[in-house]
Amino acid sequence: MASQDDSDPRLARIASSIRVIPDFPKPGIMFQDITTLLLKPKVFRDTIDMFVERYKDKEISVVAGVEARGFIFGPPIALAIGAKFVPMRKPNKLPGKVISEEYSLEYGTDRMEMHVGAVEPGERALIIDDLIATGGTLCAAMKLLENVGAEVYECACVIELPELNGRKRLGDRPLFVLVEAV
Amino acid sequence: MAACKEKDAKLEAIASSIRVVPNFPKPGIMFQDITTLLLNPKAFRNVVELFVDRYIDKGISVVAGVEARGFIFGAPIALAIGAKFIPLRKPRKLPGEVISEKYDLEYGTDCLEMHIGAVQPEDRALVVDDLIATGGTLCAAINLLERAGVEVVECACVIKLPEPKGRERLKGKLLHILVESH
């Protein structure tokens, strides 16, 4: 696990709190497990603080968190910067009127949904998930927000898997991550 | 007296920010939608603060959030009181070794899982979810924690459905609810 910026001591602790589980959910995949980070209150606090420090004066009015691990990191950030929290969910979970965006998986497709009316045109949004792999999920979230006229300021994740080229899939949209899985 | 009035005003604002969506997920069900509360940063902050005020001096070392909406409220509470955050998840989501607890649905059963080693017998836990209906999910959560030797101090939910009336405890554990739906 490599840190983006070796000079911040918090990053080393964040990186070393993440547990790697081999062969989950299937053989060959090294799963980056953030639940062990959540068991260390100071490290969880540091993780949130690093995002809040970056975004607090950027006039962000929406934090969109991708189900389900984005629901752990997104709300504390939203609360700290005074933004709305908007859950981006799997199909049929959100009860009101939704808009949806299909995205491709390794095999097949999935769909992400957002409530109609949650975000107004012109709002500045941050998208949060625990990890970026291929970038498919984040792309879908970006499209949903851009389709309602929001400006996606940045995508932010705790972990990046650089070999999967997610950054490229996001195109010119900014991506900020705390640690890279090597 | 002023503090009581202030708290009542907060609770009223919280209650009125919850949207009721009829006939979701099926005909006859009045779904209590907390996503509209999350769009109101002040109301969301007040929910978290009301829970934090109650639990900050109770020696709680673990906040267990029930997937997925329990993550949204549980994580900020855990951060504020300096407790570990434990996601309790649907089957096959948690990557490490887990213990599982089955519970009844209206038709059929479901399962809740917790990572082995996330909690220790000396931990004192709070269980958080957005809403309590039949209590099946929360019971499963309590069972998981107790099987790991943990003392469950209380269950905390934003909303309680009107039936069963006057319920104050679940499996002998105190229930703390902010608002009751109509």
Q: For A19-33, A158-172, B166-180, which range has the lowest pLDDT when averaged over its residues?
A: B166-180
Active site residue B151: no
Residue A4's pLDDT band, with cuts at 50, 70 and 90, is low
- Tens digits of per-residue pLDDT, A21-34? 999 998 999 999 99
Digit-coded pLDDT (tens) for B137-153? 999 999 999 999 999 99
| Cα–Cα nearest to A5, from A53, A40, A62 | A53
Which residues of chain B make contact with A67, given a CB cutoff of 8 A? 68
Asked whether B103 and B85 are in contact (CB, 8 A), the reply is no
User: A54 in helix, strand or coil?
Assistant: helix
How does the average pLDDT of chain B come out, rounded? 94
Three-state SS string over chain B comes to: CHHHHHHHHHHHHHHHCCEEEECCCCCCCEEEECHHHHCCHHHHHHHHHHHHHHHCCCCCCEEEEECCHHHHHHHHHHHHHCCEEEEEECCCCCCCCEEEEEEECCCCEEEEEEECCCCCCCCEEEEEEEEECCCHHHHHHHHHHHHCCCEEEEEEEEEECCCCCCCCEECCEEEEEEEECC
Q: Looking at A29-33, A137-141, A163-167, B1-5, which range is the least confident one?
A: B1-5
Report the pLDDT averaged over residues B83-106. Answer: 95
Q: For residue A116, what are its two tokens? A: 């109609």
Residues of B in contact with A66 (CB under 8 A): none
In percent, how much of chain A has pLDDT > 90? 89
* Residues of chain B contacting residue A79, judged by C-beta atoms under 8 Å apart: 41, 44-45, 48, 76
The pLDDT assigned to A107 comes to: 80
Which residues lie across from B12 on neighbouring strands?
none
Is the pLDDT score of B167 beyond 80?
Answer: no
Q: Is A105 helix (H, G, I), strand (E, B) or coil?
A: coil
ipTM for this model? 0.96
> Are A149 and A124 a contacting pair, CB within 8 Å?
no
Dihedral sign, Cα of residue A152, residue A163, residue B91, residue A42: negative
> Which band of pLDDT confidence, cut at 50, 70 and 90, is reported for residue B156?
very high
pLDDT, average across residues B22-44: 95
3-state secondary structure of A107: coil
Q: Locate A54 and state its tokens.
A: 């970056």
pLDDT value of position B163: 72
CA distance B73 to B52: 11
From A39, A71, A95, residue closest to B72, measured CB to CB: A71
Cross-chain residue pair B75–A21, CB shorter than 8 Å: no
Query: Is residue B124 annotated as a catalytic residue, yes or no?
Result: no
pTM: 0.96
| A119, pLDDT greater than 90 | yes
Q: Is B99 a residue whose pLDDT tops 70?
A: yes
Mean pLDDT calculated for residue range A73-85: 98
Per-residue model confidence (pLDDT) at position A13: 97
Residue type (1 letter), A54: R
CA atoms within 13 A of residue B99's CA, in its CB half-sphere: 15
Question: How many residues are listed for chain A in this entry?
Answer: 182
**Which two three-digit tokens encode residue B83?**
């407790």
Residue-wise pLDDT for A80-101, tens only, equals: 999 999 999 999 999 999 999 9
**Taking 90 as the threshold, does the pLDDT of residue B2 lie above it?**
no
Task: Give the burial string for A65-99 (b: 16+ CB within 10 Å, else e).
Answer: bbbbbbbbbbbbbbbbbebbbbbbbeeeebbeebe
Partner-chain residue, chosen from B40, B85, B118, that has the shortest CB–CB distance to A72: B85
